[in-house]
Structure 1
Amino acid sequence: MHRLALCLALLPLPARACETALLLLVDVSNSIDVAEYRLQVDGLADALADPEISEELVRGRSALAVVQWSGADKQELTIPWRQMFSPLDVRGLSNETRTMPRAFVLSDTAPAEALAFALDQFATAPDCKRRIIDVSGDGTPNAGSDIRPLPRRAERMGVTINGIAIEGMGLAITGFFRRFVITRDGFVMTARGYRDYPRAIREKILREVSRVFG
């Protein structure tokens, strides 16, 4: 009995579980000006720093990554996968998000290529129970390939696609996201313009990482 206890004690500890792998896909296409980009990154950074979200991220040992996207050949993994083991990890990610330089300017809107790039990033993601893409956007495609096959591809991979539709200029972006962007188990959160984005992204991330409402 003592020998068995000693053997068990010498076994390696299991890897820390990961509840959610969340990839944040940030639109930086030509329709987004300097001030709107700043509202996006500050809103995202503030959401990550929110005490309730920080607590959920640490509790679930969630992993996050940030991709900026615009035209068909313009996607950048700005912040690679980072797992949240402590509030310090979350604070560091929030600060890095707030100060990240804009990857592209004066470029088209190609969400199909953005989603394909995002799905490829899960090859290097930690092994998490849930895999989610959180895609923002304020316009419909004007470049790139057909977006309709991408949600089905995501479903085959076990990835959920959620959307944050930034409404403005009279365009029904929420309807486009619901019809063509999200997976069947996904949802769309609507921001009524960029000044409403901080509220919407906070509610969206909290819903995605919470084990009660996710």
Structure 2
Amino acid sequence: MARMTGIRAFAAAMVVAAPLGMASKAEAATMVGLELVLLVDVSGSVDAGEYALQKGGYVQAFQSAAVQNAIMNSQLGSIAVTYVEWSGSAQQAQLVNWTLVNDAASANAFAAAIQGTTRAFGGLTAIGSAINYGASLLAADNGFDSLRKVMDVSGDGTSNDGASVTAARDAAVAAGITINGLTIGSASLLTYYQNNVIGGAGAFAIGVTDFADFAAAVEQKLIQEITGVPEPTTMALLGFGLAALGMAARRRKAA
């Protein structure tokens, strides 16, 4: 009888402890306004110079006062962000782990971490596999909870390897993730991203024609993702406007 009483007491204690344990786990996660996965194309079509411009664009963006102010004035005044490079179907690497960015110092530290990475791959272009990988990072216990979850996919070509792009997109959107795009190339590539890659609440894509225009575009894109996005058409026009300005500047320099 005494033993049964002891068992019942233990069981009752476990019932009380279980929700407390769950509460402790939930409280351990840092709440931010946005969880953001930067998915950066490093497939074989991206040469060394273009890779440097692309990575440098993200570095400059997080060093910029405009992006830093956008973060500090966003929902909850903070974001969690991670930097991923991707190429073929089995080529995805989280080069900079999830990082809390909530002021200039943490934004500069994240920029420095990106600058310190080494190129991971140089193979085919598997956009669907990259999206699946990004979704897994957002679904994992990464130490953060957020009001919004976003993947930012940049690339210079259509998918030619790996998982179905549209199936990966649809699964991510069903999980509550928004996918935005930044294309480097022709207007037809931007259309491909609009039709196959982006999705979710407020999804948009920007297109630039040259890697030299990437830095300005990614800064504007990050600001829109952090503070709220305009209509997709507006972003597309903005992207190609940035590209046109860049080409005009290069022509003037050449003259």
TM band (smaller chain): 0.7 to 0.9
**Does 2:104 match 1:91?**
no
Residues 1:37 and 2:64 aligned together? no
What is the alpha-carbon distance in structure 1 between the residues aligned to residue 141 and residue 82 of structure 2?
A: 11
Residue 16 of structure 1 and its aligned partner are, at CA, apart by 5.8
Secondary structure of 2:88's counterpart equals: coil
Unaligned runs of 5+ in 2: 1-26, 232-255
Who is 1:135 aligned against?
153
Overall identity of the aligned pairs, in %: 29
Contact 2:55 2:114 (C-alpha < 8 Å) held by counterparts: yes
Residue 116 (1) aligns with residue 159 (2) = no
Contact 1:16 1:61 in 2 (8 A): no
* Residue 198 of structure 2 is aligned to residue 176 of structure 1: no
Deviation, 1:86, is 2.7
Deviant stretches of 4+, over 6 Å: none
Higher RCO (CA < 8 A, seq sep 6+):
1
Q: Deviations over 1:117-160 (max 9, x none)?
A: 11000123410101000000000112112211112111211100
Q: 166, 171, 174: which is aligned to 1:156?
A: 174
**Amino acid in structure 1 at the alignment position of 2:101:** M
Larger radius of gyration: 2
Q: Report the counterpart of residue 13 of structure 2 in structure 1.
A: none
1:201 aligns with 2:218: yes
* Aligned equivalent of 1:66, options 78, 83, 97: 83
C-alpha distance in 2, partners of 1:114/1:102?
16
In the alignment, the residues of structure 2 paired with residue 24 and residue 72 of structure 1 have an alpha-carbon distance, to the nearest angstrom, of: 17
The Cα of 1:100 is off from its aligned counterpart by 1.2
Q: CA–CA distance in 2 between the matches of 1:77 and 1:58?
A: 25
CA distance, structure 1, for counterparts of residue 126 and residue 170 of structure 2: 17
User: Structure 1: 5+ residue runs without aligned partners?
Assistant: 1-13
With structure 2 as the length reference, what TM-score do the two structures score? 0.73
Q: Deviations over 1:154-178 (max 9, x none)?
A: 121110000001115xx72101100
Q: Please name the residue that 1:3 is paired with.
A: none
The amino acid across from 1:47 in the alignment is: A
Aligned residue type for 1:129: L
Q: What is the distance in 2 between the residues matched to 1:212 and 1:112? A: 23
Write out per-residue CA displacement over residues 169-212 of structure 1, whole angstroms, 9 at most, x where no aligned residue.
xx721011000000043100111210111111011000001158
Q: How far apart are 1:213 and its partner, in Å?
A: 5.9
Distance, in Å, in 2 between the alignment partners of 1:206 and 1:72 is 30
Which TM-score applies when normalising by structure 1? 0.87
Residues paired across the two proteins, number? 199
Deviations 1:69-120 (A, max 9, x none): 0001100011111011332111110111122110012x11111111101100
